[in-house]
Structures are given as C-alpha cells and as structure tokens.
Structure 1
Amino acid sequence: MKNLHKAMVAISISAAAMVSVSARADIVSSTSSSWQTSSTSWNVDTNNDNVSSFKAHVGSELINISTVGIVDTGSGNATATPGTKDTLFTSITFDPTNNVFTSFSFQGQLAILGDIFVEVNDNFGITFTFTNVPKSSVFGPFGAAAVAGSGQYIDKVKVYTVLPENFNSIKLVDFGNYTVAGAVPEPSTWAMMLLGFFGVGFLAYRRKNQGHVRLA
C-alpha cells in the first residue's frame, strides 16, 4: 500500500503541474493578416542610410529598432534593406517603449532560402521562439500573437536568420491587438488531470479511514 500511496502522490503532483502549465498564459505563432490595418502598420520616422538603429511609430507608440547588419530605409510604411556597406543583414529587433501590443507580424525576402526565427519577450519576462520555414525566398506574413484573456503583451521582438542566410528586405511590419483563442487540452492531458483528481480523492479517503482527519 505504501508503494500505491507514493504512486498516487506522484500522479497528483504531476497532474497539478500539468494543470498549472495548461493554465499559463501563452504567446503563439501566427500567420494571420486579417487584423492588419493602416493604424497597426509601422511608420519609420525618417529616411535612413547605412544605419544599425532607427525609430518608427505604430499609431502614437514609439518603436526603437536595431539591426545586425547595416540597413537603409525609406520613411513611412517603409522597407528595410541591406545598406551600401558590405555587411549582411541578419537580424532586426523591435523594442516598443510601452507594453500595449498583443500581436506582431512582418513580411520580407531572403537572400537565399533558409529558416527564419522570431523571438518574442513578453511583459512577464518569458521568451518564446518560433521558427518559420518559408517555401519561397519571398515570405510572409509571419509573426506571433497572445492568447485571448492571457494578460500578455509584447515587450520586445527579435527577427533573425543564421548565416549564411540573410535578409534582402523586412517590410509590412505591424503591431496590433489581435489575439488567438486558447488551445483545448489534448485527451492525454485530460486523462492525467482525472488521474490526479482521483489520487487526491484517494488520499483523502485513506487519511479519513486512518483517523488522520483533524477536527477544528
């Protein structure tokens, strides 16, 4: 019975952990473009030549942008392209000054066909990394969005490739307030949860029969 007791405790703890994980807020990858409007599109403040940092706005919100590799941009709803200096454009980081956005999306073109990575930091200090494997060097939209009701916001986004891959362009950048529905637990998760609840009930039953119930 001791072994059974230990097993039921382990199941209960595992199930409780699974419930905790399934209830945790999340940010997921997204290819939706239905939420994108002119008000969610980035607007680069000025023309930029051979820079590795610049500023843009989405509505009234300031976005600080830095790159690995020198880039050129136009102004307005611009495209970032490799600068005239002989460097490879391999990474771009978007750093909103306020945590007000729940979704991010971008499009662009690769110099060669390779993987694209999107690293999202949220307002709770959690980092999510997604991989996009485009079928063509021209790609998009690709990005991420918070689960509805999660209370998560985008703190920072890094888009990057791994050499020898690099970007020919990054464009149509959008930050908005689109959210996605939460995922329904898998059948196996439901089974573990039920086992956990059974374990808790079994332990309570055992303690009652052994006189371990304390009266107030």
Structure 2
Amino acid sequence: MAAVALPAAAQAAITINVDQIGSSVVLNGSGMFDTAGLKVYSSGNQGSPTINPAFGVVQTGASAPITIFTGLSGPILGYKQSVQRATAASGDVFGVSQYLGAIYLPTDYLSGAALSGTSTYVNSTFASLGLTPGQYVFRSPADTVTLNIGLASAVPEPATWAMMLLGVGGIGSSMRRRKNAARRTAAFN
C-alpha cells in the first residue's frame, strides 16, 4: 500500500483509526465529509461494518442503508479474497472502497454533517483481516478520508507528551547541576 499526501484545501475530513487492542481489531471513525463533486453510484443498499481488502473496502458503524458516492482516488489496500464482518458495531455506517473509488455514507446523510462509528473484530489481527499497517488517504474533489491502520495508538496522548517533556527537562536540569558542581569543585582545588 502506498501513502498519499493530504490535499491542503480540505474543508472537512473523515478519519478511521484501525488498532489492535488485545486480541481484537477496533475501528473508530469520525469526521465530516463534503460530497461536492461526487456522483451517486447507488442508494438504499444495506451498509454494514465490513473489511474486504479484495475490493479495498473498509466500513465502520452499525448496519444501515447507505448511499455510495463515486469520485474518490486513493491507494490499493490489498487483495485478500474474503469479506470480514465485525463482531460488534455502533454509530453511523460509513467507509471507503478503493475498487469503486467510492465513499459509503448513510442514505440520509447531509453533506458536511458529523459522523461517528465504531466496529470491533474479535479474535482478529491486521494480517487475518488482510490489512497492512500504514496511512492511506482517499481524496475527492472537495475532501479526504484518512485510514490509519496501526498508527493511532502510536501517537502519544497530550498527557504523555507532557510527561516526556518533564522527563527530558529533568534530565537536562540534573546534567546542568552536575556540570556546575564539577566546575565549583575544580575552582576550589
């Protein structure tokens, strides 16, 4: 899979984070999407939380009717030939399809409205689902969908950053005190 850079002019965006949590793979997605410049491929189909790398499909959220909009471009996700369905899911159903160059959105979706959905694949790994860790960005004329596989948990929380900075500051302060103590001792000898 190849990573694609985010366009600078995106007004809103959807991000789907895929993480290994214990023995499960969990998808958490949220954001908003501007459907300008896309064409309706079909509407009223049943969408469900699914991973199908054979067609580059990743969907999260609870099962519900969807509208498929085409006009996205993006990387190839893989070619494992089996569809994997989530064990549990909640929230809005949405996702992407590399094969169709499409975004899946709830049938009643209004362009720019907030979306949030999650799905869990119990007793699964990235490999068993046919996913390769990395960041994959799908672009439409007006927006982006970013799929982070195995990356969200690698980004430290703000509190972790603060602890790391305090630790580095403490080490620097300790080194400075030792250096100053060594200078004072040398000055008196």
Fold conserved (TM > 0.5)? Answer: no
Larger Rg: 1
- Indicate the TM-score class for this superposition, using the shorter chain for normalisation: under 0.3
**TM-score, structure 1 as length reference:** 0.25
